[in-house]
Amino acid sequence: MSLEWPQPGDAPMCGVIGWPVTYSLSPAIHNGAFQALGMDWTYVHLPVARQDLPEALGRLVSDGFVGANVTIPHKTQAADLVSWLSDDADSLNAVNTLSVINGELGGHNTDTPGFSRFLLEDAAWDPAGRSALIFGAGGAARACALSLCRARASSVTVAAREASRAGLMVRMIEDLGVLARCVPFAEAREIRSDLIVNATPLGSQGEALPIGPLGPEVLVVDLLYANGLTPLLASAAEAGARTFGGLGLLVHQAALSFELWTGRVAPLDAMRGAAQDAVEKS
């Protein structure tokens, strides 16, 4: 295995594991937070191919990392490789945050509380009694669904390209007492919902999602973060819907990871500013 690891030094170090990973805004966000609080910490990109993940996680411990974030395509595999899981990571079978504690690697998932904070603090939107349509059935989609169920949403519809991949997500929703159903992508345009979430990569290359009529009463969230509107958000804005990109969730989940590693309150304004600057420069 040949990993492009930085040489460990005296200062605490964290990073983000993924493949590819150089697109990730996490180093800009976390280094912005460290700088804002005057902390001598460093956060770096850690490119790791799928087959190298087990050895890479071992390196986190042996090289003295405090922790790391985990992104595509490793969230589910990482859940099977750590010594222990938080309740959310266990429920979702997905890890987005790793912590090294007493020489052992544990897995957390900050996407669920991050999405809850985003809806409450950024969108000022209460899911209670409302319906949602989520495109995708991966780790991010499951985290959003868990957040909505805990906030007493009335129903969650999963639009999946492969119905077999949505089974875990649908069962989780049903187990939490919320009405769940899975539909193929093509049928998603027939679903009327109060909230639409894109938790897939679709849109990054200009692809359109099959959504039905929208209006001012609908909240549309695209977890992609881009310099400008994605096709989904552009269509939604034209129809008068409220729209948000993925930076809100990204910053809130990052803040929760930051607090797990450092024990300090995350400087949200600095993290938002760093994220926005990074997007504008990308």
181 domain residue, yes or no = yes
Is 80 exceeded by the pLDDT of residue 135?
yes
Give a yes or no: residue 105 inside a domain: yes
* Domain annotation covers residue 4: no
- My answer on whether 139 and 164 are in the same domain is yes
Domain of residue 57, CATH code: 3.40.50.10860
- Residue 220 and residue 198: Cα distance in Å, rounded? 8
Residue 137 lies in a domain: yes
Residues 125 and 189 in one domain: yes
- Identify whether 75 is a catalytic site residue: yes
pLDDT of residue 4: 67
Asked whether the bond before 12 is cis by omega within 30 degrees of 0, the reply is no
Indicate whether 121 and 103 sit together in one domain: no
Domain of residue 166, residue span: 112-245
Strands 155-160 vs 84-85: parallel, antiparallel or unpaired? unpaired
If asked whether residues 125 and 60 sit together in one domain, one would say: no
CA distance 112 to 227: 25
Whether 274 and 215 share a structural domain: no
181 and 88 share a domain? no
pLDDT per residue over 159-201, tens digit each? Answer: 998 888 899 899 999 999 999 999 999 899 999 999 999 999 9
237 with 258, same domain? no
How far apart CA 236 and CA 243 sit, in angstroms, is 7
Q: Are residues 27 and 105 in the same domain?
A: yes
Give the mean pLDDT of the chain: 94
Q: How far is CA 40 from CA 25, 252, 261, 262, 273, in A?
A: 19, 22, 14, 12, 20
Are 91 and 151 found together in one domain? Answer: no
What is the rounded average pLDDT of the residues 232-242?
A: 95
Looking at the domain assignment, is residue 8 inside a domain?
no
Q: Does some domain include residue 7?
A: no
Catalytic residue selected from 30, 45, 75, 117: 75
Answer whether residue 1 is part of any domain.
no
Q: pTM of the full predicted structure?
A: 0.93
Q: Are residues 80 and 105 in the same domain?
A: yes
Torsional class of 3: left (φ above 0), alpha (ψ -120 to 50), beta (otherwise): beta
Total count of domains within the chain: 2
pLDDT at residue 26 above 60? Answer: yes
pLDDT value for 189? 94
Residues 184 and 121 in one domain: yes
d(CA 58, CA 51): 13
Q: Give the pLDDT band (50/70/90) at residue 41.
A: very high
Q: Based on the domain organization, do 77 and 133 belong to the same domain?
A: no
CATH number of the structural domain spanning residue 185: 3.40.50.720
